[in-house]
Every structure is written in C-alpha cells, then in structure tokens.
Amino acid sequence: MGLTLAEKIIKEHLVTGDMKAGSEVGIRIDQTLTQDSTGTMAYLQFEAMGVDKVRTKRSVAYIDHNMLQSGPENADDHLYIQTVAKKHGIYFSKPGNGICHQVHLERFSVPGDTLLGSDSHTPTGGGMGMLAIGAGGLDVAVAMAGGEYNIPMPKIVNVELKGKLKSFTAAKDIILEVLKHFTVKGGVNKIFEYTGDGVAHLSVPERGTITNMGAELGATTSIFPSDERTLEFLKAQGREKDYRELKADEDAVYSEKLVIDLDTLEPNIALPHSPDAVVPVSTVRGKKLTQVAIGSCTNSSYVDLMKVASILDGKTVHEDVSLVVSPGSKQVLSMLAQNGALAKIIGAGARILESGCGPCIGMGQAPSNDGVSLRTFNRNFKGRCGTDSADVYLASPEVAAYSAVAGFIAGPEDFDMNVDLDIEMPKLFLVNDNMVVKPAEDGSSVEVKRGPNIKPFPKNTAMKDEVSGKALIKVMDDVTTDHIMPSNASLLPYRSNVPYLSEFCLTPLDKDFPRNAKENGGGFIVAGKNYGQGSSREHAALAPLYLGIKGVIAKSFARIHKANLINNGILPVTFKDEKDYDGVDKNDVLEINGLLENISTGTLTVQNVTKGTSFDVSVSLSEREAEIMAAGGLLNLMSMKNK
Ligand code: MIC
Ligand code: SF4
C-alpha cells in the first residue's frame, strides 16, 4: 500500500510510536521558527533547559507581531530575543524584515523538512512541501533543544484540485471553499494533502495561502507536493540547491476526499465572525465598507500585491474607505518599490504599513465603532481587530482591491475585466538578507539582555490525587484563544509578563473572571466544543495557570491548546455524555478524586457537590502526557528527569 506525502515525511522523521491514526508519534524536527509575541516565553523556557546551542538544522527568531514600540516593553523584548538568539545559534530576523511565515517561505523553507513554529500559521511552509506544524512555545523550545515533537498520528485528507482558476478567482477562494466544507472544527488531528492537475497551476506563495489558512480548520497541517513549481520558486530565490521532488505514491490511501473544480469556483467571502462562515461574494455584494486591509501572512506575497497594484492603477480609493496595505516582507516591499507598483498603490490613496502582522493582530488600524472591514487575513473573530462592534469579512486581495475602490463589497460584476491579472511569478526575486542577523559561532561571551518587562513564567506543582474548586466560568462552543487571552495593542507588549496579562484572561466573555478566579483560589473552566481554537499562544494556558485553574471540562478541544494545557499541568477532560454540560452551572463546586490512579484509565468521575450529582469525563492522554500531568507540567518533568 502506497504512502501519502505527509506519511512519507513523518516516516523519514519518526523517532517513536507507530503511524496508526490516533496513536502518538514522536518526530524529529529539522527547523524551528518563533515570533516575538510567543518567542520570549519560548526562549525563557529554552534557557531553563540549559542547552548551549540549538540542535536543529535551522532555527529562526522573527520580530513581526509587535512593532509599534509604543513604550519600552516590546523594544526590551526584541533585545532579549536578539541576544538570546545570537548566543544559542538562532538566526534573528529584524523588525521590518517581514512576517515570519512569508519570510520563512522565501528564505528558509526546504521541501521534505519538518518545521515546528510557535505560531499557529506555521503550516504556511506546507506550500513548499514541508511538514510544518504550529505548537506552543514550550514544544518549540524542546525541539530547539533536540527533543522530538509528539502528536497523535493524524488522518490524512485528500483535497483534489481540478482545472485552473479563472483570472479573478484566487488561492484564497480555494481555502475558503475548504473551510466552508469542513468548518473550523473539521480539521482537528487531520493533515490536508493537496493533489490533482490544478496543483501545477498554483505557485508556491499561492499554495502558501492555502496551507496557511488551513490552520483555521484546526488541522495539524496542510501540504502540497514539491514539483516543478517549487523548483521554479527556489531558483527565483537563489536556493535551487534546497530542491527535492516529493509527492504521494500513486496508490496512497486517504481517509477522506474533497474535490474542488477550479474552473467553476467563484470568489468567496467569510462573514463575521468566523473564517468558516463562507458564502459566494455575490451574496453580500453591495455591503458598504469603512475599511479595507490587505496583507497578513495569508495574502501579502509579491503576486498578491502586484494584482492589487494593477487593480488600483489610475483609480481612487472610495472616499468613505480607509485602505491599508502591509506587504509581507522586505523582499516584497522592495520589489514593489523598484518596479513602480508601490507608486500605483500609493497613488490610489492607500496607506502603506510596514512589513509585519499589524492590523491582523490588532496592532493599530482598529475600525470605527460599528465599522465594516474587509480584510485579506485569515481570522475575523469578534473583537480581534480591536473594535468589538466592528464586522470583519475575509476575502482575496482581488476582491479587497475592487471593493476599496467601489466603497462596498464588490462582486464579479464590479470587476474590470480589462485589468490584466495574469501576473507571473518573477524569474528572480530581489534577495537581500541584510535584516537577518547570523548567530555567533561561539555564543559563550554573548550577554543576554533582560529588560524589566521580562517576568518569570508561572510553574505548576505536581498533580494531587484530588482536585476541587468552583466552575468559575461556563462558555459556549468555538471559544478562541483570542477570548481566553486577548491580544490587542495594549496587551501585546506584555507577552513576557504573565501576571499582568492574567488580569485580562477570558474577560471578553466574563469581565469578572480573573478576580473571581483569584478570590476562589482557582477552580475549573467549563466549555463547549473546540475549546481553544485559533492561535498557538501558550499564554491561553499560562494565564489560567497563574490564576489557579486546575482543569478544563469541555465537549472537545483544539489540538494545540490541549497540548499547551497538558504542558502546563492543567487537566483537559471531555464530557463522556455531552448532555452533562447542561447540568453544570457557574459557581457549582466540582470535585475529582482518585486522579493519580485513574488518569491513565481514560475515565474520571466529577462530583458536583453543589447539586449532589456526578458525571463521567474522558481523559485522553498518551503515556507521555500522563507523565507530564503527574509532574505538574513538562518543565517539571524535564527537571525531575535531569536530577
Ligand atoms: C495569531 O494569529 O493569533 C497569532 C498572534 O499569530 C498567534 C500567535 C500569538 O498569539 O502570538 C498564532 O496564530 O499562533
Ligand atoms: Fe501575524 Fe496575523 Fe499571521 Fe498571526 S495570522 S502570524 S498575527 S499576520
């Protein structure tokens, strides 16, 4: 029986376990990436492991999330990351060099390598035929120290692309179509593997748009084959030597299959407030806009922005619309500047932001109250843009540019068919890596600079046999990490300061949660399905840990968040019977006994002391995870083992 491409790469990197869907495998990691907002924690944790030099082939620390420097906090963080990187063998990508995923695709990605990144959109590298996975900072720190990375062996889903996109449809429309089909819950513990004759018509950056936003499916990752188009991209980046052909066997077996006909695909749009609320653009055509934002790690490649420039050429952005454009990397921005496309974009009345995450993570450009924003990004969760009452739609750069001029969401009937959107990927990109600082050959004399914003991370204590406490909050399905640990312009500078951040934990859902948790000495979180979807931010586990949260009882979990809870010794359990969710109310006192003995059996009983009832929950942990839980978190376990 043949292997899928993902299986081949896992097999090549397999350290422990057997590749049976659902059972845990440990894989060797070739490359890591971090960004500033998760990076500080990851490097503090790495330092705690006492390893001099990273043991990966390539590790890169990017600064792209928080670059406003509205106070000294994030400049301090950047300095910490820069010095810690230099000392320990890590490349450092300076602020302004670009968004981690875009730059990594351009300059560091290698087909067939494994990449672990402390950011949920790390799967962008799947566009290059890498097995690229997002994880919490601690898992990335372990990988930098040479440790394996553990995941439940995913099921492999096949998405077959047939035909060729019409000139005004885009890679974004493909991934929106996949999201419409599978939803934000549909990808957990699955890898999406793209095949079919349509693949050959997509360039590496276009493939990157698709694998990037595969994160919104909750998927482990997404991957494309490495083929002629991959070689073409690597050649254009002056990295031909990194090429290797890779594809699935002809007789590979997939667990599910979706076929998308590119010839008939129409432009899509995701409605507020979820990336899977996808409809054809034509159904919301005419909706008035106040803002259009083009950029993010999903859609800010050279070709994306060249299309935008062609559409905007000689036009004027509608008077009621603010158009902001953030090119994905220094490479993209300099090429647009050199060939005149930037002048076309500026000429139309766009505002140019630096190459970074910017508005995507709420660092500036919050829309007005009740504003309507159309963005080329990957997430539109309520409040993420910085304005609770705003409505955010997600679409392709083409739709965004036409809409900016029209002043409303534009449908195909508003597109100017005379504009040539058949933009070829350049034969040679402008390569200038002078914003990438190399690590020291010998880091022993490099001094790591720690500003006052860098506080120690909280640590748990060994698991006790009995845990009890109040249900401090009861939340609905699809709670995102943006709800658990909001990230906006005022909070992002404090990513190295968990005590401060914890004062905002879960406040979008319950203003009193942090105070309530502290007053009660901690307790439980009760949740619906897909708890913790969205980002990889470990802060969504660290802040609850700081507030004394002992366990989360949910209908189901998002993969990365569940791993982050376990790594920090917070018990993640699921209702055996989902109906029991209805029987728990906020402030009920809950108790779980016999944890030490029963944690590996798969079932625990929760006593609802307030109601005098009880219900069963499942605890699905691998042996390794049960060991981590018992030690009160991964760092405790590692230091116990090192003694
Ligand atoms: C995001 O898109 O939400 C982020 C900000 O990039 C996060 C990482 C973080 O919270 O720092 C992610 O996607 O993992
Ligand atoms: Fe940055 Fe947005 Fe991409 Fe996250 S999703 S890495 S915030 S651009």
- Pairing assessment for the beta strands 131-134 and 149-152 based on DSSP bridges: unpaired
The finding on whether 121 has its CB within 6 A of some atom of ligand 1 is yes
Q: What is the pLDDT of residues 223-267, one digit of tens each?
A: 999 999 999 999 999 999 999 999 999 999 999 999 999 999 999
Residue 296 CA: nearest ligand 2 atom is: 8
Q: Which residue has the tokens 């055509």?
A: 285
Residue 537 CA: nearest ligand 1 atom is: 10
- How far, in Å, is the centroid of ligand 2 from the Cα of 455? 24
Q: What are phi and psi of 14, to 5 degrees?
A: -70, 130
Which three-class secondary structure state does DSSP give residue 287?
A: coil
> 542, 570 in Cβ contact below 8 A?
no
Identify the band that residue 642 occupies on the pLDDT scale cut at 50, 70 and 90: confident
Give me the percent of the chain exceeding a pLDDT of 70: 100
As assigned by CATH, the class of the 5-261 domain is alpha beta
Name the residue with the closest Cα to ligand 2, atom 2.
360
- How far, in Å, is the centroid of ligand 2 from the Cα of 504? 21
The finding on whether 536 has its CB within 6 A of some atom of ligand 1 is yes
Residue 119 CA: nearest ligand 2 atom is: 6
For residue 555 the two structure tokens come to: 């209908």
> Of all helices (H) and strands (E), which one includes residue 85?
helix 72-88
> Of all helices (H) and strands (E), which one includes residue 174?
helix 171-182
- Candidates 34, 36, 38, 394: which one to mutate for ligand 1, based on the most atoms within 8 Å of Cβ? 38
The finding on whether 38 has its CB within 6 A of some atom of ligand 1 is yes
Residue 535 CA: nearest ligand 2 atom is: 4
- How far, in Å, is the centroid of ligand 1 from the Cα of 536? 6
The rounded radius of gyration (Å) of the Cα atoms in the chain is 24
Name the residue with the closest Cα to ligand 2, atom 1.
357
The finding on whether 535 has its CB within 6 A of some atom of ligand 1 is yes
Domain with CATH 3.20.19.10 in the chain: 467-642
* Residue 242 pLDDT: 98
Strand ranges across the sheet with 149-152? 14-16, 24-27, 149-152
For residue 623 the two structure tokens come to: 């042996």
Helix axes 330-339, 302-312, angle to 10 degrees: 40
Name the residue with the closest Cα to ligand 2, atom 7.
361
* Residue 586 pLDDT: 98
The amino acid present at 183, given as its one-letter code, is: T
Name the residue with the closest Cα to ligand 1, atom 5.
361
Tally: H helices and E strands in the chain: 20, 27
Domain with CATH 3.30.499.10 in the chain: 5-261, 268-414
Residue 121 CA: nearest ligand 1 atom is: 13
Rounded distance, CA 629 to CA 436, Å? 38
- CATH topology (fold) of 268-414: Aconitase; domain 3 (3.30.499)
The finding on whether 385 has its CB within 6 A of some atom of ligand 1 is no
Name the residue with the closest Cα to ligand 1, atom 7.
535
ipTM of the complex: 0.98
> 311, 402 in Cβ contact below 8 A?
yes
Residue 37 CA: nearest ligand 1 atom is: 11
Q: Which ligand is nearest to the CA of 119?
A: 1
Q: What is the pLDDT of residues 315-356, one digit of tens each?
A: 999 999 999 999 999 999 999 999 999 999 999 999 999 999
Q: Which residue has the tokens 């990449």?
A: 115
* Residue 305 pLDDT: 98
| pTM exceeds 0.95, yes or no | yes
* Residue 641 pLDDT: 85
- Candidates 35, 133, 536, 538: which one to mutate for ligand 1, based on the most atoms within 8 Å of Cβ? 536
Strand ranges across the sheet with 278-280? 278-280, 268-270, 391-394, 372-375, 291-294, 322-325, 351-352
Name the residue with the closest Cα to ligand 2, atom 3.
297
Positive or negative torsion for Cα 399, 400, 401, 405: positive
- Candidates 357, 392, 491: which one to mutate for ligand 2, based on the most atoms within 8 Å of Cβ? 357
- How far, in Å, is the centroid of ligand 2 from the Cα of 639? 33
For residue 45 the two structure tokens come to: 């944790």
Q: List residues bridging with 373 in a β-sheet.
A: 291, 392
Residue 100 CA: nearest ligand 2 atom is: 6
Q: Which ligand is nearest to the CA of 481?
A: 1
Render the burial of 569-586: b for 16+ CB within 10 Å, e for the rest: bbbbbbbeeeebbeebee
- How far, in Å, is the centroid of ligand 1 from the Cα of 639? 28
- Candidates 33, 34, 360: which one to mutate for ligand 2, based on the most atoms within 8 Å of Cβ? 360
> 99, 296 in Cβ contact below 8 A?
yes
The finding on whether 119 has its CB within 6 A of some atom of ligand 1 is yes
Rounded distance, CA 452 to CA 593, Å? 41
What number of other Cβ atoms are within 10 A of residue 482's Cβ?
A: 22
CA-wise closest residue to 114 among 169, 69, 59, 37: 59
DSSP conformational letter for 246 = B
* Residue 593 pLDDT: 94
Name the residue with the closest Cα to ligand 1, atom 2.
535
What number of other Cβ atoms are within 10 A of residue 18's Cβ?
A: 9
- How far, in Å, is the centroid of ligand 1 from the Cα of 120? 6
Identify the band that residue 46 occupies on the pLDDT scale cut at 50, 70 and 90: very high
Q: CB under 8 Å to 549, separation ≥6 — which residues?
A: 472, 517, 522, 523, 524, 525, 570
Mean pLDDT of 468-489: 96
End-to-end CA distance of the chain: 45
For residue 628 the two structure tokens come to: 């981590």
Q: What is the pLDDT of residues 361-387, one digit of tens each?
A: 999 999 999 999 999 999 999 999 999
643 pLDDT more than 80 = no
- How far, in Å, is the centroid of ligand 2 from the Cα of 357? 5
The answer for 220, left when phi > 0, alpha when psi is -120 to 50, beta otherwise, is alpha
Q: What is the pLDDT of residues 566-582, one digit of tens each?
A: 999 999 999 999 999 99
- How far, in Å, is the centroid of ligand 1 from the Cα of 563? 16
The finding on whether 361 has its CB within 6 A of some atom of ligand 1 is yes
Name the residue with the closest Cα to ligand 1, atom 13.
535
Helix axes 36-48, 137-144, angle to 10 degrees: 50
Mean pLDDT of 493-518: 96
The amino acid present at 184, given as its one-letter code, is: V
* Residue 600 pLDDT: 85
Strand ranges across the sheet with 131-134? 131-134, 114-117, 31-34, 58-62, 91-93, 436-437
Q: Which residue has the tokens 């981690």?
A: 100
For residue 413 the two structure tokens come to: 């009937």
Name the residue with the closest Cα to ligand 1, atom 1.
535
The answer for 468, left when phi > 0, alpha when psi is -120 to 50, beta otherwise, is beta
Q: What is the pLDDT of residues 278-308, one digit of tens each?
A: 999 999 999 999 999 999 999 999 999 999 9
Q: List residues bridging with 436 in a β-sheet.
A: 93
Mean pLDDT of 56-78: 94
Residue 38 CA: nearest ligand 1 atom is: 11
Q: Which ligand is nearest to the CA of 327?
A: 2
Homologous superfamily, domain 467-642: Aconitase, domain 4 (3.20.19.10)
Mean pLDDT of 590-602: 92
The finding on whether 124 has its CB within 6 A of some atom of ligand 1 is no
CA-wise closest residue to 433 among 186, 210, 107: 107
Residues with CB under 6 A from ligand 2: 65, 99, 119, 121, 296-297, 357, 360-361, 378
